[in-house]
Structure 1
Amino acid sequence: MAELYYNAKVYVEKGHYEQAVLVEDGIIRRIGSSDALLSEAPADAVRVDCGGRTMIPGLNDSHMHFAQFSETLNQARIADVKSIGELIEVCRKFAQEHPQRVKNGLHAIGWNQDYFTDGGRLPDRHDLDKISTDYPIVLERVCGHIVSVNSKLLEILQSTGEIDKCKGEDCLTDENGVPNGIFTGNGCNIAKRLIPEFTLEERHEFMRDAMDYAVSHGLTSVQSNDVGTTFLDTPAAFRLLHEMYDNGEGKVRYRHQVCFNNLKDFEEYLTHGEYAVGEYKKGSWLTLGPLKLFKDGSLGARTGLMSQGYVDDPENHGLEWISVEDMDRYCQLAKKHNLQVITHCIGDEAVRRTVGCYERAFVDGKNKLRHAVVHCQITDRALLERIAKDDILVFAQPIFLDYDMNIVEKLCGKELASTSYAFGTLLRMGVHLSYGTDCPVEDCNPFTNIYMAVTRKDRQGRPAGGFYPGECVDVETAIDAYTKESAYAEFQEDVKGRLMPGYYADMVLLDRDIFTVDPMEIKDILPVMTIVGGKVVYKK
């Protein structure tokens, strides 16, 4: 079956636009003028008049947490609360309206104390006890690297001895040395494990909701770190995704980014598990991707690993989640099995140590496995040059600037801030830099992300000239980072990320021309149609 999309402004590559795309069996066969393709298309081809609208390649989020995002669509919405009092009220209301959902525990993510109007302190057990003391509660900061819990959860941790597994800095205490219900680092994971997992049936439903949201915002591919994080039951996670895609329920292409609890588990999966026996056919919408590691925490939580510490707390260098020695072991094992490694790095020291581990695991002295730094926020000039020289990939989130531009100079100093979030510089250096949102840390709407990359302004258009405007990129560059560079990140650059013959027919028709609108309007753009593999998965 063939489809012809004509009377469009089709973005092909920088400076090159066409009018029509001919699709057969989910693959782009021809591009060209409307007149030429209307005359050449098979007689039985479905002809779609695009009404002069702009068409771009399907957008590909290079790093997110899709399953966790699906949870947030079905949890208490705490991302926009402006005070601890509002946080309490939102959770109380959710519990009243969904008693079955919280009977074994309440978990939600999204609060940010920097937006609180009542002092900006971290919520503690005393605050969460006002929601309930009958069941355990875990509320995660937006970054996921600080959690607040209630007394009930602390009681369970203490009675089971689990609290003894927390290092001193992972479990904060009050002036009397009593745990105050605030956890960081690995303590977050220990606390979250006490909230019962959703059933697979619930997760199945949640994932469908998330896919609907994604395609309605122009995403056609997601590279998602769910297994080993949101999904703690690794076999069940792989099984659920296989079932959904085998049954034709997938609406977006999905690539796994996988975490493991320890090196032994990783080796087992490489030799006898999913990486050895998992079935992923060529052209499948479901693919198995890299090992995902966490090197440090977050900037807002002051747990990002910093070489010089934080300006207002120079003795605090952040947290190192995985030692250099252990990371070397992971990278060498990945090298043995020809597997890509991607690592969460926020602070400059996290980036520096991660780059060193990668260099020691290069194949023939080169980054042939396309190891990547995820986030890559705080950097100096020498580090940027080292990343470029080594051809290390960067999975960037320009949308983080909406919040971080308000804190980075205060925490890191102006000199280091001036070379951080240097996503324009890295692209100009020739680095393979792709865009993602780290959703649900940020919404997975790609157009807000593109707006931030182009303007370096927050959603309200501040600052007027942009935050370090030398890092701005043009719209074509931003779209390329979200399409062809995201495809390169998953070794798919020959079949994905371009509207060219031989590529997957993953396309988005927009409600306005992203190339000519006022840049302030980019964040408000929405698709009128989203197509994956030639299949219309969303139509407004």
Structure 2
Amino acid sequence: MSSMLIRNAHAYVERGHFEEALLIEDGIIRAVGSEAALRAEAPGDVKVWDAKGRTIVPGFIDSHQHLLNTGVMLSDVRLQNAKSIADVKRITREYIEERKPAPGTVLHGMGWNQDYFTDEARMLTRDDLDAITTEYPLVFERACGHMLTANSAALARAGVDESIVAPEGGSIERDANGRLNGIFTENARAPLLMLFRNRTADEDVALIRTAMRHAAECGVTSVHTCDVRGGTWETVIEAYNRVMADHPLVRVWHQSSFQSSMEDYKRFLAAGHVMGSGNALHRFGPLKLFVDGSLGARTAFMRKPYHDDPSTVGIPTMTPEEISEFVNVAADHNCGVVTHAIGDGAIERILDAYDATLSGSNPLRHGVIHIQITDRPLLERFTKNGILALVQPIFLHYDTKIVEDRVGKDLAATSYAFGTLKKLGVHMSFGTDSPIEDMNPIDNLYCAVNRRRLDGTPEGGFHPEECVDIYDAVDAYTIEGAYASFEEKVKGRLLPGYYADLVVLSENIFEMDPLKLRETKVDATMMNGEFVFERQGA
């Protein structure tokens, strides 16, 4: 039996309750309290670890992200910091020069955002990417992940020509002459995405490990991840099984996406991957659906036309009938559903589907992910059947720049309504949607409690009435994430009987000026009773 006594700590138990010591045995917290009391309980060979007075919180639980894709982002062409189309070209040419990929290798990039471009604030096009290279197929995903641009070599590799017709729930753009300009959204992206998603299990193992190291550095000890998808699910699961059997750094709860193929989903279920199957480190969770796109790309599905483009209400990616079929099949196998829904039309559509199968309670813990554009009646609908809210406060960093243009000031004022969701008693958990945003929980907490962008603007915060305080924000990142995976009795608190998943912080986030939260660093991360990250010099 291995045991550790953490002493001299400021360990967060619950609002207003902190303890100075934790006794850990075989990956489980056995006791919390005073150092003297815990030393009396500890075995003689207990290892003592001095927290040096630092604040300790439960391990952060990212309740929606894409861990495998985070590994992809960290390994492929990184476009998050591109401030111009010229930057995109420079970054890609430098990547090719440094990596020297084999001729014809498909190169994938992530993170570009035309709203940050200072030379021309427009979408990347096929011609922009052709100017970089015609030798390598390029597929560059916008920051939202719902739009991509491909060069001519990629179109040819994917078998896409000028005769292509956009599928239902997707769009394919053309220039003024009717020629494909390389921009594809939502369901139309499939043939281009498959150019780089058909990886081997060995490749996926390396990417998952890369992402887990980043998670540990961020203090994230559990992820609810959407990596298992129709078409590639068997390879991805093989990779995860290998990683999780060999010293994993993070607990994994899968949100599995199969809306492209009901037959694939039924095969997945028949293989035994129903919600709750697995072990304490690696479990299968709910079905993940996508019913619209993103606000930045104007593909989020709205009830009324966009304020800055009345020609569109966005793109609904599933019909109500398709949604109901998947929700019902999942329920038949005792599986919950969590659904990407950003626009108010999309949120309304998925709540309609959930409400049709529920009556006052939510035993499968169906949830809605993102929940960005709302009015008060729509928010109140979450209380009817106890629907979970899986939100990303970090989205405020970018979206506060565009939301009033997209939906108008009135609707923007009732959107990203984390304070209202909390007041209504909705089970609300935090995540980052990594790699759409970085996995860093500190920035996420900053946005939740301040309602400001990471540069501190706007003064006073964006609709500060929707702020949550630091206690509620930490709880949303810990115990509420555990609730979303049915683990609130064993994870998300520093209490006896709970997993020894915890984070040592450089600052006392509960008493510091909220505007200085970003000064906080993760000094150490423990998962399952073992330190998986310790910051040098901390």
| Shorter-normalised TM range | over 0.9
The aligned residue for residue 225 of structure 1 is 226
Distance 1:60 1:393, change over 3 A: same
Structure 1 residue 92, shift from structure 2 partner: 1.0
Which of 471, 474, 479 is the equivalent residue of 2:474?
479
Q: Note if 1:326 corresponds to 2:327.
A: no
The aligned residue for residue 307 of structure 2 is 311
The range that moved more, 523-532 or 83-92, is 523-532
The aligned residue for residue 367 of structure 1 is 362
The aligned residue for residue 205 of structure 1 is 206
Amino acid at match of 1:84: I
1:462-482 deviation digits (Å, cap 9, x = unpaired): 111011000111111100000
Measured in 2, the distance between the counterparts of 1:68 and 1:277 equals 22
Amino acid at match of 1:291: L
SS of the equivalent of 1:194 reads helix
Structure 1 residue 187, shift from structure 2 partner: 1.6
Measured in 2, the distance between the counterparts of 1:159 and 1:144 equals 20
Amino acid at match of 1:148: T
The aligned residue for residue 498 of structure 1 is 493
SS of the equivalent of 2:75 reads coil
- Checking the alignment, whether the CA contact within 8 Å between 2:287 and 2:337 is kept in structure 1 is yes
Distance 1:328 1:214, change over 3 A: same
The aligned residue for residue 300 of structure 1 is 296
TM-score between both structures, scaled by the size of structure 1: 0.95
SS of the equivalent of 2:496 reads coil
Q: Note if 1:245 corresponds to 2:240.
A: no
Identity %: 44
Provide the aligned length of Structure 1 versus Structure 2.
533
Structure 1 residue 169, shift from structure 2 partner: 5.7
The aligned residue for residue 41 of structure 2 is 40
1:27-80 deviation digits (Å, cap 9, x = unpaired): 111110122222332211111111111110000000000000001111111011
- Checking the alignment, whether the CA contact within 8 Å between 1:107 and 1:137 is kept in structure 2 is yes
The aligned residue for residue 105 of structure 1 is 106
Measured in 2, the distance between the counterparts of 1:29 and 1:376 equals 38
The aligned residue for residue 176 of structure 1 is 177
- Checking the alignment, whether the CA contact within 8 Å between 2:200 and 2:235 is kept in structure 1 is no
The aligned residue for residue 340 of structure 1 is 336
The aligned residue for residue 522 of structure 2 is 527
Measured in 2, the distance between the counterparts of 1:411 and 1:181 equals 24
Structure 1 residue 7, shift from structure 2 partner: 0.6
- Checking the alignment, whether the CA contact within 8 Å between 1:449 and 1:523 is kept in structure 2 is no
SS of the equivalent of 1:296 reads coil
- Checking the alignment, whether the CA contact within 8 Å between 2:169 and 2:315 is kept in structure 1 is no
Amino acid at match of 1:262: S
Distance 1:134 1:341, change over 3 A: same
Measured in 2, the distance between the counterparts of 1:13 and 1:373 equals 26
The aligned residue for residue 254 of structure 2 is 256
Amino acid at match of 1:455: N
- Checking the alignment, whether the CA contact within 8 Å between 1:105 and 1:196 is kept in structure 2 is no
- Checking the alignment, whether the CA contact within 8 Å between 1:69 and 1:210 is kept in structure 2 is yes
SS of the equivalent of 1:39 reads helix
Q: Note if 1:424 corresponds to 2:422.
A: no
Measured in 1, the distance between the counterparts of 2:399 and 2:142 equals 15
Distance 1:101 1:274, change over 3 A: farther
Structure 1 residue 276, shift from structure 2 partner: 5.8
Amino acid at match of 2:58: P
The aligned residue for residue 121 of structure 2 is 120
- Checking the alignment, whether the CA contact within 8 Å between 1:95 and 1:102 is kept in structure 2 is no
Measured in 2, the distance between the counterparts of 1:482 and 1:101 equals 42
Which of 495, 517, 539 is the equivalent residue of 2:534?
539
Measured in 1, the distance between the counterparts of 2:427 and 2:102 equals 43
Q: Could you tell me which runs of 5 or more consecutive residues in structure 2 were left unpaired when the two chains were aligned.
A: none
Give the superposed CA RMSD. 1.8
Structure 1 residue 164, shift from structure 2 partner: 4.2
Q: Could you tell me which runs of 5 or more consecutive residues in structure 1 were left unpaired when the two chains were aligned.
A: none
SS of the equivalent of 1:334 reads helix
The aligned residue for residue 374 of structure 2 is 379
Distance 1:426 1:105, change over 3 A: same
The aligned residue for residue 235 of structure 1 is 234
Amino acid at match of 1:478: A
* Structure 1 residues 383-398: aligned runs within 5 Å: 383-398=378-393
